Structure 1
């Protein structure tokens, strides 16, 4: 996809009644709630515009109705109301709005025997901070490559257990909300890449345990953690359906399962949206 080079410095503010795309991707992915995805119509120009939410570049694709769309990840902490998307094309720069609705997420209480995974000591905290920085850097990457698919395969076949967005309490203490989707599957279950991509992280982290990140292009990143075994290394190009790891119980886990994250424009969003399992 060719992107326009120098852009005219013309700022135009527009607030249409959020143009609604009607193509296949829009019908599949448009779930504009905190932790969800907004699909915003950008018109039918010959070439792709660029789109930004705050400082983060947003995925832009041509939908089945031939309209350009922005596929926007909405952070879980985003308040209800209008958000602003900046769009750049050959005519200059403009702003368009989209509305974020509301969604209630349930609470989950988990008891851990290893107290350090609730309140790490100073050395463990420093380790976590280093690891967190590395992960945030991977989430913030934007490659121009168009994702091979955004309707994803499940990385494993199994029961969905802990859903995205749960308010989590470990040993009675509230921590960050659940940023992924858990699959309850046995130890050693093969995990398959749900789309083509490049492996950007293969590491053993304090909380996540053994972890793999795959960059699918245009800020579309998937993460797999609590693994027992790696089947890839950093820098590998993987294809949809390729086995990248095996399920385990490493890190902060009470038993074998796969924790699967999806990130768009550096916002963690509900993976259930991409496998047609989203529940309003």
Structure 2
């Protein structure tokens, strides 16, 4: 029995050693997670697409890796990455997300009136367009810095109920920090959208490259302008409680191939 256990341990360690650094850090193939797919060696980056949308591809050592955002709506089971004339299959696991019940005094933030809905639709179109941006440059880093230093107060994917009515799941990660706290970009990027929105309040979108995008909202102040190029650690704005918020906090979305994914994956704080 001791020899068998030693043999199995060697196999486990060998498998871990062969997994790439990026795979070990980011591969969380669940709804709302990230699938890291080995595309093999090659002189040029393969053109990868998932559900018809372009995917971030990076090179690590001698092979290419697809960094695929898995939407929260993705059903567990087989999934397919398209590579032009060929496909690669991968498996999406399952994950259960908890519930969160929130009471709002402003009833319009639960059931907007017709004028609000018209505004919301126009704002949504702007933000969806930003999420679908796909610039050619590679991200400066995939392991991200936390935009603020503070405890996480609401995790990604939580099923949210406002005044007892279910709404969209929480698409980002919240940090409990005081109003006015500087929010810093976790990687190099370009500001592609700035606005004040019905639900999100003061909002900034930063494109890190190839569909890898950060969104920060509910800010008290915006310190950047559209088109501005940012270095890692640059201040994009200040923490606030604008839009649909019950108090000051920093809300951070991360998107890959137009899929909102758990930012905790990129800062080493993912919970299975």
CA distance in 2, matches of 1:78, 1:164: 15
Deviation at 1:55, TM superposition (A): 1.4
CA distance in 2, matches of 1:46, 1:206: 47
CA distance in 2, matches of 1:193, 1:26: 23
Q: Does the residue aligned with 1:143 lie in a helix, a strand or coil?
A: coil
Counting helix residues as a fraction of each chain, which structure ranks higher?
2
Name the counterpart of 1:112: 104
Q: Does the residue aligned with 1:27 lie in a helix, a strand or coil?
A: helix
Deviation at 1:29, TM superposition (A): 0.3
User: Are residues 1:78 and 2:74 paired?
Assistant: yes
- 1:213-228 paired onto structure 2 within 5 Å: 213-228=205-220
Name the counterpart of 1:50: 47
Name the counterpart of 1:181: 173
Alignment TM-score, normalising by the size of structure 2:
0.93
CA distance in 2, matches of 1:151, 1:53: 22
Deviation at 1:66, TM superposition (A): 2.3
User: Are residues 1:136 and 2:128 paired?
Assistant: yes
Name the counterpart of 1:257: 249
CA distance in 2, matches of 1:202, 1:54: 28
Q: Which of these residues, 81, 84, 92, is aligned with residue 100 of structure 1?
A: 92
Name the counterpart of 2:7: none
Q: Which of these residues, 192, 198, 204, is aligned with residue 190 of structure 2?
A: 198
Per-residue CA deviation, residues 181-213 of structure 1 (Å, 9 max, x unaligned), is 000000000000100001011110000000000
Q: Which of these residues, 25, 30, 33, is aligned with residue 28 of structure 1?
A: 25
User: Are residues 1:243 and 2:235 paired?
Assistant: yes
Per-residue CA deviation, residues 215-265 of structure 1 (Å, 9 max, x unaligned), is 000000100000000110111000101111000000000000011000000
CA distance in 1, matches of 2:45, 2:243: 42
Deviation at 1:23, TM superposition (A): 1.3
RMSD: 1.1
CA distance in 2, matches of 1:177, 1:163: 10
Name the counterpart of 1:266: 258
Unaligned runs of 5+ residues in structure 1 are 1-20
CA distance in 2, matches of 1:23, 1:61: 12
CA distance in 2, matches of 1:121, 1:275: 38
CA distance in 2, matches of 1:55, 1:144: 17
Per-residue CA deviation, residues 84-109 of structure 1 (Å, 9 max, x unaligned), is 10113xxxx20110100000000000
